[in-house]
Structure 1
Amino acid sequence: MKKEEKTQKTKERILAAALKEFGSKSYDAASINTICEAGQISKGLLYHNFKGKDELYLLCVKTCYDEMITALKAQPLEIKDAKEGLQSFLMIRQTFFHENPDYANIFFNTVLQPPKHLEAELAALRSGLEAYFRQCYLAVLNCLNLRDGVTREMALEYFLGASEMFNNYFQKKAEQSGDYRALIEAHEDKLSAIFDIMLYGVAKAPL
């Protein structure tokens, strides 16, 4: 086996072990020692191929985002009705999380418990995924008859702002809760209802 091939296989083995570790724990709780034990790799070899925990974590996040975008784009999302289109988008997303629990844990850790010192790097990695989400939200908005004075761009910014507030609410919950998996389930269960309220409001129009 050539040196380059051997190095690549070593990196793949380290990454696989890191995905399992970060896929079951938060950034803070994850351990380089556990990654080495699981991958049957010496710490020296790990540090020969990666700078350390931060680089491995960011690579795991990138892998998660790349796989998520691929899975989302593999499903045709033809939106002809706003409510049905949004539910379809959320169902595809939820199916991905159920089929890939390690990626679900990594994704929600970046949303709910991101390491503060890596916020800039995480934001850069998230740009592609957020661009796809914006595309989907715009497709939903295109199906709606917007109120007078409300542009598509205004509606999109409101939609994204409300989503951010929703995530901030769950960030605080994550700091208080000991049951992280239950919190993820609650986040996804309530997301559809929150999006519905964002689209249609909470009150009936006066007669």
Structure 2
Amino acid sequence: MKQLKKSQISRDKILNAAIAEFGTKSYENASINNICNDNNISKGLIYHYFKNKDELFLNCVKTCFDALVNYLSKEDFYQDDIQNSIEKYLDLRYRFFREYPYYSQIFFNALLQPPMHLKEQIKDLRNDFDALNISQYRKTICNLTLREGITEEEAIEYFFFFQEMFNGYFQSRVYESSDFNFLIEAHEVNLQKILNIILYGIAKEE
């Protein structure tokens, strides 16, 4: 076996083990020692491919976001009926998280309780996911008559503003709740409500 392929296999083994670790624990509770002990991987091998725990976590986050974007991009969840479009999008998200529970934990950890020193790096890793959301949101508002004085680009800005406020609200609740899975469910249920408020809050009154 060529060295390049062997290196890729080793790196993939470490990354998959890390996904299982971060996919069942918070960033704070996950550890490289656990990854080594649970998967018969030497610490030296991990540090050969990843500089530290932060780099390993960020690679898991990137893998998660890339997989989610790829999953959502395979289906066109845009429909003429705005409500149906939102429901289909959220159904696809729910299906993805149900099929890939490790990714679900990593996604919401990165979104709702990111390590403070990694927030900017995680924000960069969200770029493709955010671009996908913007694309679908733009298609949706094309079917709306916007209020006087609101441009399409301003509507997009409002979307991001409310999205960050919404996520920020749940970030603050992370430290008040002992059940992170319940918080995830509440986030997804209320996401549909906030999307409706955003959309119809910018629609022209007939």
Alignment TM-score, normalising by the size of structure 2: 0.93
The CA deviation string for residues 4-58 of structure 1, in whole angstroms up to 9 with x for no partner, is: 2222111111111000001111111111011112221111111122111111111
Distance 2:149 2:65 in 1: 36
- My pick for the range that moved more, 121-130 or 81-90, is 81-90
What is the root-mean-square deviation of aligned Cα atoms in Å?
Answer: 1.5
Equivalent residue for 1:95?
A: 95
Does the residue aligned with 2:155 lie in a helix, a strand or coil?
helix
1:11: which partner in 2?
11
Does 1:182 pair with 2:186?
Answer: no
Matches within 5 A, 1:153-192: 153-192=153-192
Q: Which amino acid aligns with 2:122?
A: L
Do the aligned residues in 2 keep the contact of 1:77 with 1:88 (CA within 8 Å)? yes
**One-letter amino acid of the structure 2 residue matched with residue 81 of structure 1:** D
Could you give the per-residue CA deviations for residues 140-182 of structure 1, whole angstroms, max 9, x where no partner exists? Answer: 1111111222211112211221111111100010011110011
C-alpha contact 2:78 2:140 (8 A) present in aligned 1: no
Counterpart residue number, 2:194: 194
Count residues with an aligned counterpart: 203
Residue 115 (structure 2) aligns with: 115
Aligned to 1:80: 80
- Seq. identity, %: 46
Of the structure 1 ranges 105-114 and 3-12, higher mean CA displacement relative to structure 2 is found in 3-12
Q: Which runs of 5+ in 1 are unaligned?
A: none
Partner Cα separation in structure 2 for residue 61 and residue 174 of structure 1:
19
Match of 1:42 in 2: 42
Greater shift after overlay, 92-101 or 182-191? 92-101
Answering whether residue 26 of structure 2 is matched by residue 29 of structure 1, we say: no
How far apart, in 2, do the equivalents of 1:184 and 1:43 lie?
32
Q: Does 1:71 align with 2:59?
A: no
CA drift at 1:64: 0.3
1:48 & 1:200 partners in 2: Cα distance? 52
Alpha-carbon separation, structure 1, partners of 2:39 and 2:16: 8
Which has the larger displacement, 84-93 or 16-25?
84-93
* Rounded Cα–Cα distance in structure 2 between residues aligned with 1:60 and 1:104: 12
SS, match of residue 176 in structure 1: coil
SS of match in other structure, 2:13: helix
Moved over 6 A (4+): none
